[in-house]
Amino acid sequence: MGTPPRRSFGQIETRPSTVRGRKPKYRPRYVGPNGQRYNGPAFASIGEAEAFLDNIERDIRLNVWNPITPTEEPQKPAAPTLADYAEQCIQRRMNRPVKPLRASTASNYRKQMRLELAPTFGDTVIDQITQDDVNVWHATSSAQGHPTQTANAYLFLRSVMNEAVAAGLIASSPCKVPGANGKPAPKHGAETLTIAELRAYLAAVPERYRLPLMLAAFCALRSGEVRGLRLQDVDTKSGRITITQAVSRIDGEYMIGKPKTKAALRTVYAPSFLRPGLTTYLKDHPRKNRASLLFTALDGESPLHATVLREAHVKGRDAIARPTLTVHDLRKTAATLAAQQGATTKEIMVMLGHTTPTVAMVYQSAAEQRMKQIADRMATEFGSTTI
């Protein structure tokens, strides 16, 4: 490597190449007549760098000098605030070519940002958020009575900070709360109904909303899937029901789109006792267009609101004194009934629209009555001999 000679005007800095095997580059530096230091471009040889400085010195002497790039390193763009960068992350994920973020998921992220993260970190520049800041926020927010919401917000914050690390905006993520990296345990444990409870529940539900709740309880449909059914999705002769879309609420507006996962695109069958009711319902449906929604709001066209279906459900659960039962719990009842009829875990996975047996097993319930029946059958097979 050549050593640049000392000069009366300017200096030449040797800049080693970061690529192995390549020659170093030489960068001229000088002080202009205004007293400010300037850098020239990097040259491949010392001679080129010297010639550059000779030309600059001549221009200064002839009073025709024009300044070029100052020596100060270019300033890195100011780091964004968490609120701004989180929105950038959401937009990038929604527009990525592979597995773009669903609009409903983006809405949930924005809700977590608005309710959980923005009050503490929204206006804070991301490189100023420390590990202690995150630890204190997590502990304080969890103690306020909504740990699940806090945990979900933390997972989103962690993903945003990981993107910031990858983009070179911060050196490391401040999200290192011990034990907070997994999904939170659900606050509400799924419940199931016995046949007797289910009969009493349905009897107490307003007749207008009985059929959609029966589809949830016997076909394991989610609320949004029930409300997204079209006339063309139901075959009353065979009981075949095809789930191809669902209703969701995004930023306060009800939207119709694909179900939450690929596995949710599925076909299930309604029990035979449901088919006459479906046939009558379709026959009396005011809109004969096969693409029309099966269950609608009172205007006969808009999707049935989740709150309306929930209000009908509340009448049913109150009648059987099950105050914590949710509409979503009806899926567990459907899975449990299917298991009791001999359905395999794989079949229950298809019924529920799940991709893993672990999740499907959560919805199965070894009802106490069923366990007693199994024990009684064992006694019958073994006989009455005591041991």
354 as an active site residue: the answer is yes
Q: Which of 287, 331, 370, 377 is catalytic?
A: 331
Whether 305 is catalytic: no
Give, in words, the CATH class of 195-371. Answer: mainly alpha
Task: List the domain boundaries for the chain.
Answer: 1-75, 82-166, 195-371
Question: Does residue 9 contact residue 17 with C-beta atoms inside 8 Å?
Answer: no
Among the listed residues 249, 285, 322, 328, the single catalytic one is 328
In the chain, the percentage of residues whose pLDDT exceeds 90 is 34
Q: Which of 222, 227, 266, 317 is flagged as catalytic?
A: 222
Which pairs count as long-range contacts for 187-192, CB under 8 Å and 24+ apart, including other chains?
187/147, 187/148, 188/324, 188/326, 190/328, 190/329, 190/331, 190/332, 190/362, 190/363, 190/365, 191/322, 191/324, 191/325, 191/326, 191/329, 191/332, 192/329, 192/332, 192/333, 192/336, 192/365, 192/367
Q: Tens digit of pLDDT for each residue in 123-151?
A: 999 989 999 999 999 999 888 877 888 88
Q: pTM (2 decimals)?
A: 0.62
pLDDT tens-place values along the chain, 387 residues long = 567 777 888 888 887 654 455 567 788 888 888 888 888 888 888 888 888 889 888 888 888 887 755 444 444 556 789 999 999 999 999 998 888 888 888 989 999 999 999 999 999 999 899 999 999 999 998 888 778 888 899 999 999 999 999 888 888 999 999 887 766 565 666 788 988 999 999 999 999 999 999 999 999 899 999 999 999 999 988 889 999 999 887 777 778 888 877 888 888 888 888 888 889 888 888 777 888 899 998 888 889 999 999 999 999 999 999 999 999 999 888 888 888 887 788 888 888 887 777 655 655 555 555 556 666 666 676 665 444
pLDDT digits (tens, 9 = 90+) for 264-287: 888 888 888 888 888 988 888 877
254 assigned to active site: no
Q: In the annotation, is 328 catalytic?
A: yes
Told to judge if 281 belongs to the known catalytic residues of this protein, a careful annotator would answer no
